[in-house]
Structure 1
């Protein structure tokens, strides 16, 4: 059992025909690229590095592979195919909402339902951000804070003076 054999990417004639069908839109004529260059593009678009795509498509010299990638027609084809891929995998709020609603429908427990509803609320911005108390203290030197009396420090912290006094219970006299 070989891991390499399972992870190899095959390029079939159908793949090449599909690639060729995009050439007119990419500004590439059908006869401008060789079969090897078409295979190189397909391997690269499917996620291989330039060097790996070059080896997989049969190039022996890696410097030549990098030169092939610099050809304007190759660059045009790759840019067009990348843009097409972006359009195919476009993911927006509506898609996410549909997926969340499907997850809600399939949820087995109340906790799962609550989590989906929380996620939907976050997605659509329905949760108001918590208002945290923010204290801004502009102090040039730490020594200035050290010299302040307790009353001033409590005032800066937003707490009144009675905070320091112990609260008496019913049994205190």
Structure 2
């Protein structure tokens, strides 16, 4: 397992994604604040550098009762003059996880896009915004909330990021490391 912290991932995600990235290997989502706290663990299911990475995602390891890990797929595709990153998070176990990732995932590609296009991350980590100010309309009316889990079928969150002037391999390395 590569235990080195990759500075770019830490800059846009606030965590280092640590693994050797071979199918069957463990991976850790380790805080880059010096605490070395691991917030998410999982297993690499598929790794096809630089185009596709599929991992399990368990943010409640050791919890009782145990629950099945969800699955995250990173798909990186060249698309004309841009590179497209699609992140799909599926098989969510409950509404709590759905709500958490609905508010957390949008900040990751937003910060990555800013870093790739300007050389700097956003001035405030989007996922650290106060819950009372996030997803709130500017006009009077009810607060916007993430959609509830579907009654049937798999819960899925999908985010897409398109960037200019970034190489396919660069985005792949940023997602993995």
Common fold, TM-score beyond 0.5?
Answer: no
**Structure 1 length-normalised TM:** 0.24
Whichever structure has more helix as a proportion of its residues is 1
More strand by share: 2
Larger Rg: 1
Relative contact order higher in (CA < 8 Å, ≥ 6 apart) = 2
